[in-house]
Homo-oligomer: A and B are copies of this chain.
């Protein structure tokens, strides 16, 4: 319960453990952000080599998840964290699950990029995929920044973007369906584009989840499954 008398050093080491945990999370976050960026570029440019690199690198994302997960378990067992420290560890356990899933989605986009590279390219050069991809990348970056700075307002702003991503996604899907109907020969290709679009939309969902863990981490409130407006109210109401 009371570990202060034992040694200053132990507490220092504990701080160092938590700091190490945080920096590993940011390293993993940086990697998945890069994976998404590269997957989108691979699709838009039809770059098979880049797509292959994304698919190969997915094991790095997975390995990082397992490592950080083990570190979290060790910290709980060794340090028996409470209050804010415990919330940090729980938030990390959840965050890395979502980051791993972002990695999965990036690999999925990369697989579609490989297939699409072999097919006829549309006149618009997949500009809508680039736009959606940039949007969700901004969300990942925003979620990581909010986590790093323990910034509730920043987390809320980023979470709000998910609604815009959803609208963008729906507009793209409607357009793709129209293209399919106009020219059924494009069905196979457009289905691949649809799967890639869907994967990017899911990246936005995961980034939003991470924002919710930031609010939980800072405020100690579970804000999942409620609207962004309610999150804002819950987080800012007490100010």
Contact of A93 among B62, B93, B184, B194 (CB under 8 A): B93
Known pairs A94-B97, A187-B180; A86 contacts B66 (CB<8 A) = no
**A225 part of interface (Cβ distance < 8 Å):** yes
**A222 part of interface (Cβ distance < 8 Å):** yes
**A59 part of interface (Cβ distance < 8 Å):** yes
Cα–Cα, bound, A93→B222 (Å)? 14
B residues in contact with A224, CB < 8 Å: 62, 65-66
In the complex, per-residue mask of A64-78: 1 if CB is within 8 Å of any chain B CB, else 0: 011001100100110
Cα–Cα, bound, A59→B226 (Å)? 10
For this chain, the copies found in one complex come to 2
**A6 part of interface (Cβ distance < 8 Å):** no
| Interface pair B66/A225, CB less than 8 Å apart | yes
Contact of A80 among B63, B80, B83, B90 (CB under 8 A): B80
| Interface pair A222/B66, CB less than 8 Å apart | yes
Interface size of A in residues (CB-CB distance below 8 Å): 30
B residues in contact with A180, CB < 8 Å: 180, 184, 187
Cα–Cα, bound, A180→B77 (Å)? 55
Taking A66-B224, A80-B80, A180-B180 as given, write out 11 further A-B residue pairs in contact, using a Cβ cutoff of 8 Å, ordered by the A residue number: A59-B225, A63-B225, A65-B225, A76-B90, A77-B86, A90-B93, A97-B97, A180-B184, A181-B187, A187-B187, A191-B194
The 28 listed contacts between A and B (C-beta, < 8 Å) are A59-B225, A62-B224, A62-B225, A63-B225, A66-B224, A66-B225, A69-B222, A70-B222, A73-B87, A73-B90, A76-B76, A76-B86, A76-B90, A77-B82, A77-B83, A77-B86, A93-B94, A94-B97, A97-B97, A177-B187, A177-B191, A180-B180, A180-B184, A181-B184, A181-B187, A184-B184, A184-B187, A191-B194
